[in-house]
Structure 1
Amino acid sequence: MWRYGAGVLSALLLAGGGVILFRGTAQTEAPLPQPKAPPVGMAPLPPVPVTIPSAPERTREQKRFDRYDKDRDGSITRDEYLASRRKAYAKLDTNRDGQLSFDEWAVATTTKFAKADADQSIALNPAEFATTAIPRKPAARCACPAPRAEAED
């Protein structure tokens, strides 16, 4: 029986030692320094205005151009243009057999690139690239009725 008592006593001593050790190493928070009052005869300084830098507005077309321009050199090469078009090759199946041959895909994308490359420089500048955008439908507007005015009593 004395072994149980010794075990309980040693567990309590270990727990108490841990608490004492923890409290000894814990740091208390120092109070925040209070702002000093200005010297007598001087007006307090106005608070410094907080200015948040703003990012420049970029158009949808500029963002789209940047997605294609992988090397960020300001122009889209034929390889950069064709790499992004691989995802949409299923739309290019001209004979509608459910399979897209490389020739079908290459003809359609090379033709589109050639049409967009007006100056025949084998690279698209931002203005030329803008002609390759897919026309989008305008967002549907809510046809909600106008709120009616509350009748006054």
Structure 2
Amino acid sequence: MWRYLAGVASALFLVTAGFLIWTGLASRDEHIPPPPVLAQAFAAPVATAPVAVDAPQATEQTREQKRFSRSDHNKDGKIDRDEYLAARRRNFAKLDSNGDGKLSFDEYAVKGEAKFAAADADRSGALDPQEFATTRVVRKARPRCPPAGQAAPAATDSGEDNG
């Protein structure tokens, strides 16, 4: 029992000593100078194209205004039912390959069937893990920051779903 008490006491002593040393070092007013490479980088300004200090940011309101403007085809300041459903009608027309005004499952799933057929390399009618991995959607990564000296591309809301 005394061994456990001695162990706990020594652990408390070490934690207290470490805390006191840490606070003593933190209270000093000494500052560590930056490495020479960083000091040179911040010392002289680089001659590049001027960068706007307060770059305008698109607010949610301006995004909605742009989306509204794209949907208001006759520019009367109102979106009627036909304007609201126009994008959906275009998408439906693309899927309705025989033009009968009805969407069969085969018309709806044509892209999925083509993707499955392309992935099924051994034509077995089933996808193994390697074949299934080829069906993954690959999205183009957007750069977080523009390259030095170039302006950032304007962000656009390319969705025309209108709903």
Q: Same fold (TM over 0.5)?
A: no
When Rg is computed on C-alpha atoms for both structures, the one with the higher figure is: 1
State the TM-score, normalized to the length of structure 2: 0.28
Higher helix share: 2
State the TM-score, normalized to the length of structure 1: 0.30
